[in-house]
Amino acid sequence: MIIYLPAVLSALSLLVAYGSAGRRRQAATIGAIIATGWSLVVLVDVNSGSWAIGPIVATLLLPRPGQRVNSSFEGLTRRVITIAAALVAAIFLASRLPVGENPVLLSAVPWFLGALGAAWFASPVDQPERLQGQVLMVAAAAAVILTAVPAGPVTAGLAGAMALMPVAGEGWRLPGRFRSPVSLLLLGLAALVALLALVGLPIARIFLFDLSLNSSGIVLLAIAVLLVAGIAVTPMGSEWAALLGVLAVSATAPSLRWAALGALIAVATVLAKAGERFAWTGFGVLAITPVLQSLATPAWSARVQAAALAVGLVLMLVAARPGMLRVLVLPATGFLIMLAVETVTPANLVRFEWIAAAGAVLLPARTLLNRLLGDPGRPAIVRDQLLLGLLLLGISAHDPLGLGELAAVLLLVDLALVRISDPSLARSGWAGRVVLLARSNWPPAVTFAGAAFAVIAALQASLPLGLLAALLLAGLQLAPLLDRHALAPSPERPRSALGWIGPALSIACGMAPALLLRMLRL
């Protein structure tokens, strides 16, 4: 009977947390986290208990008001239906993905924590409850993956510490006096990483106790892109968020990798919440893939994994609106999927390709349909949606020559860095002027090369995929007719006393395909 105690504590904590306020509700939330940590100790080992430290600290940093917030009948009904549906889904997933021969109720405790977080995020009564929901979702994702893929105490503790990032993203910005030194440090690190990727020196994995970080060629390239994006395009004071993307692409432990991606999404949606529902849904679909690999039966595990990777990537691209979701989450997810596709068998890769093809059609079609229906929101740029579709096809192709990966890298850089327009950069000092200068010297030929490589890679995968890629490429030529609302005079290239900067950047951009081929070991 003792093995059922975590499930009992989780159920009681959930009832009290949903029916009370103030410190009582905060204590109940901590009780649900303790129940999850207890279940990890029973299901896996004692080392996994270090996971609970981060979520508990994050919950203590989010005090609740002493009185319950008044809510309408419709609001109460929506909240009850939301938590009920989330709990039913949690029980279903726990029953389909049991941990060994343990009782289903014990295996379901980490899923219950995720259900509580998802319910609070989907139907919050205030901003602290929304943040608490994000904390619990990130923590639950790490806990569920730890039950499937155990890790050491350092890795488990760091995965749990990712639950602190939603709180940090909401209330912490780099002080002004530290921004320039941090930017210079990250820029130097990006240059060093890019140099190591270019030279191709074999670097073993980096170990710190039980924490392991990958340092292969494509991972180094991903780190360089994310660091530059964090310096150049993220809001002032949020440059540190790029380190979450670096941790996501370099961590070898699945629990830490996906928890870091969830933390990055939470930080990215603090200022711009458009598309966050799609992003969190995509995160949930992607985070379940290591659980399927370890706990699901081989008869359907591989097929569902390939489909989950494709669906999660499509949802992330749908959520990639201008902002940090585009600047950091999009490249981090793109590089993660590129790494994951390497382990997909050819038979299951076909399923990935067909879902990617459907997503490539959906992205521009959704934009055009919104325009026909007169969507009052900010209209999306058709050209960007077509490039996102080609990015999908390039990643899914996975051709022997690696042209699909090269196309994906070029398109990710174009979408995440080059095509983000921020007028404030022109007034943000020398750093902003350097960013504008670099963008002004990114030739359209590089973007066209990425799109063309995607078409070639898709043709190697299959004829229908190649024809679809060719149609998207042809659509790029007509996109300016549909994007008249987005056409604006390009900012004048800033003048610099160092006359060699412009030609040097032009030459570097022109050599980009050859350099990236070398980085990808082609």
Q: HEC profile for 326-375?
A: HHHHHHHHHHHHHHHHCCCCHHHHHHHHHHHHHHHHHHHHHHHHHHHCCC
The confidence score (pLDDT) of residue 427 equals: 41
The predicted-structure confidence for 28-55, as pLDDT tens digits, reads as follows: 999 999 999 999 998 988 888 899 999 9
3-state secondary structure of 441: coil
Q: How many CB atoms lie within 10 A of CB 470?
A: 17
Q: Nearest-CA neighbor of 256 among 114, 99, 145, 167?
A: 145
- Going by DSSP bridges, is the β-strand pair 211-213/206-208 parallel, antiparallel, or unpaired? antiparallel
Distance CA 505, CA 315 (A): 34
- Report the C-alpha gap between 477 and 495 in whole angstroms: 31
Inter-CA distances, 382 with 366, 385, 451, 472, 487, Å: 10, 5, 15, 11, 12
Q: Specify the 3-state DSSP secondary structure of 185.
A: helix
Residue with tokens 């985070």: 287
- pTM, entire model: 0.86
Whole-Å CA distances, 25 to 19, 84, 323, 422: 8, 19, 34, 42
Is the Cβ–Cβ distance between 273 and 263 less than 8 Å?
Answer: no
pLDDT tens across 395-405, in order?
988 878 888 88
Q: At what angle do helices 276-287 and 330-341 cross, to 10 degrees?
A: 20
Q: DSSP H helical segments within 97-202, as ranges?
A: 104-107, 109-122, 127-148, 153-161, 165-171, 176-199
Q: Give the Cα-Cα-Cα angle 394, 447, 427 (nearest 5 degrees).
A: 125
What are the pLDDT tens digits along the chain (522 aa)? 577 888 899 999 988 888 787 888 889 999 999 999 999 998 988 888 899 999 999 999 987 776 666 666 676 788 888 888 999 999 999 988 888 888 888 899 999 999 999 998 988 888 888 899 999 999 999 999 999 999 889 999 999 999 999 988 887 777 777 777 887 888 888 888 888 877 766 666 777 888 888 877 788 888 988 888 888 777 777 788 889 999 999 998 999 999 999 999 999 888 778 888 999 999 999 999 999 888 888 777 888 888 999 999 999 999 887 678 888 999 999 999 998 888 888 888 888 999 999 999 998 888 888 777 766 555 667 888 889 999 999 998 887 888 888 889 889 888 888 765 554 444 455 555 555 555 555 667 778 888 888 898 888 888 888 899 889 988 888 777 776 655 444 444 344 444 555 556 556 655 666 665 655 555
